[in-house]
Amino acid sequence: MFKIFRREKTKRPQLFLALDIGTEFVKALVCESEGNIALVRGVGKKRQKLGDMQSGAVMDIASVIQNCSEAIEQATRQADGYPTEVIMGIAGELVKGMTSRTAYVRKEPDTKIDLSELKNIIHKVQWKSFEETRSQLAYETLRRSCISARSKPLLRNSNSISSRSRRNRMLWRDALKARKQAN
């Protein structure tokens, strides 16, 4: 009877923002999620100024933030909506990506998982992934430092060199142990 006073509930589309902060451009896409498909609803692009980024590293954070804001504003204006989630990418020679795979075996796999057990599992998996990543980075960093140290002339009778080589041997040993444990 009073249907004219009731507002129909309209389902608003689920929008997300994909933001790519590159050395030359900041690019923004506002997309609508429909199952496994993303429909692009808005596009924004802003060129970085010469001193904003260099080799993937941020040199002027205020300017990069301003560029991001302008690209996002363009995309949201086109999409006629504001995203609620963000996917962001930033790359360069100072960024390193790693992938690790971790498995956790429960003591009682037939029982239902409660919240405290789930938190414990997530904590253990995160810690194991962190340790694997740390040992891999230590191994790679140490390998690079040992290679560069071999190419430099060594000064004899220097305490810093002997302590550095002791430290390198210890790091190598730790990295190799971690690598054996991971395999």
Instruction: List the one residue out of 129, 75, 82 whose CA is nearest residue 101.
Output: 129
Give φ, ψ of 139 to 5 degrees: -60, -50
Give CA–CA dist 124/129, Å, rounded: 9
* pLDDT(21) > 60: yes
Average pLDDT (1-29) is: 76
Query: What's this model's pTM, rounded to 2 decimal places?
Result: 0.48
At position 134, the amino acid (one-letter code) is R
For β-strands 37-47 and 25-34, DSSP reports them as antiparallel
pLDDT tens across 33-78, in order?
Answer: 888 888 999 999 999 998 888 877 788 888 999 999 999 999 999 9
pLDDT confidence band for 156 (50 / 70 / 90): very low
**What are the strands, taking DSSP E only, across 48-138?**
53-54, 57-58, 85-90
Query: pLDDT digits over 80-118, tens only?
Result: 888 988 888 876 665 666 777 777 888 888 999 899 998
* Phi, psi dihedrals of residue 47, rounded to the nearest 5°: -75, 135
CATH class of segment(s) 15-90: alpha beta
8 Å CB contact between 94 and 48: no
CA atoms within 13 A on the CB side of 94: 10
Say if CB 35 and CB 103 are below 8 A apart.
no
